[in-house]
Amino acid sequence: MGHKESKVAGVDLNDETIDRLTKNTNYTPEQIRQWHEAFLRDCPNGKLSPRQFTEVYKKFYPEHEAEKYSSQVFRTFDTDNNGYIDFVEFLVAVNVNANGDIRDKLGLAFDIYDMNSNGQIDKKEMTKVITAIYDLLGEENRKADNSPENRVKKIMEKLDLNDDKNISRDEFVEGCLKDDILRQLLAPNV
């Protein structure tokens, strides 16, 4: 039992990392080791690249354009901005998706929209992500009220409570908690 280290394909999972993940996720040390082995089967070098990440999205959305949206999600999960997702980043993101409460999940959704990581979502960022979601879902009706620009205008009106032309994390989370339709649009998996 007392595993000191799990060395698989040259990528170590040491006790310190297991301890940190146990404290920051809902997973046991054994589950963490299992996740690690599965991660290394898909990413033997311990690094999930943007291309690999997009390929996973394409499996879920084979008929549609997955690149733009998956690149936003990838950027959010690559918390150290080094151009790949390592095992710790991967497991923390999986944990929030699988075990996080609704506020944690909405916070993760906020991070996808906050493309420049300044703690605010502006109209331009929101439009880019809504357009990417339309591409991902194959939405062809992009006219009148359903255009990304008009959709974003209505979203901004609802969520921008202090009228500063930006949406803060709190405005985003609280707005989505109060409005099921907005939550379904902005964070459909929450």
CA distance 38 to 99: 19
The dihedral built from the CA positions of residue 77, 81, 83 and 89, taken in this order, carries a sign that is: negative
* Residue 189: strand, helix, or coil: coil
Neighbouring C-beta atoms of residue 86, cutoff 10 Å:
18
* Residue 11, pLDDT score: 61
Type of residue numbered 138: G
Each residue's pLDDT, cut to its tens digit, for the chain (190 residues) gives 444 444 433 367 899 999 999 998 999 999 999 999 999 998 999 999 999 999 888 888 777 888 888 898 999 999 999 999 999 999 999 898 888 899 999 999 999 999 999 999 999 999 999 999 888 888 889 999 889 999 999 999 999 999 999 999 999 999 999 998 888 888 877 7
Structure-token pair, residue 21: 């993940």
Domains 10-61+82-99 and 102-190 share a fold: yes
* Residue 11: strand, helix, or coil: strand
Q: H-type helices in the chain, by residue range?
A: 15-24, 29-42, 50-60, 67-77, 87-99, 102-113, 123-137, 148-159, 169-178, 180-186
What's this model's pTM, rounded to 2 decimal places?
0.81
The CATH T-level fold of domain 10-61+82-99 is Recoverin; domain 1 (1.10.238)
The domain over range 102-190 is classified in CATH as 1.10.238.10: yes
Structural domain boundaries of the chain? Answer: 10-61+82-99, 102-190
* Residue 100, pLDDT score: 86
The dihedral built from the CA positions of residue 185, 99, 113 and 136, taken in this order, carries a sign that is: negative
CA distance 23 to 59: 32
The dihedral built from the CA positions of residue 121, 123, 128 and 130, taken in this order, carries a sign that is: positive
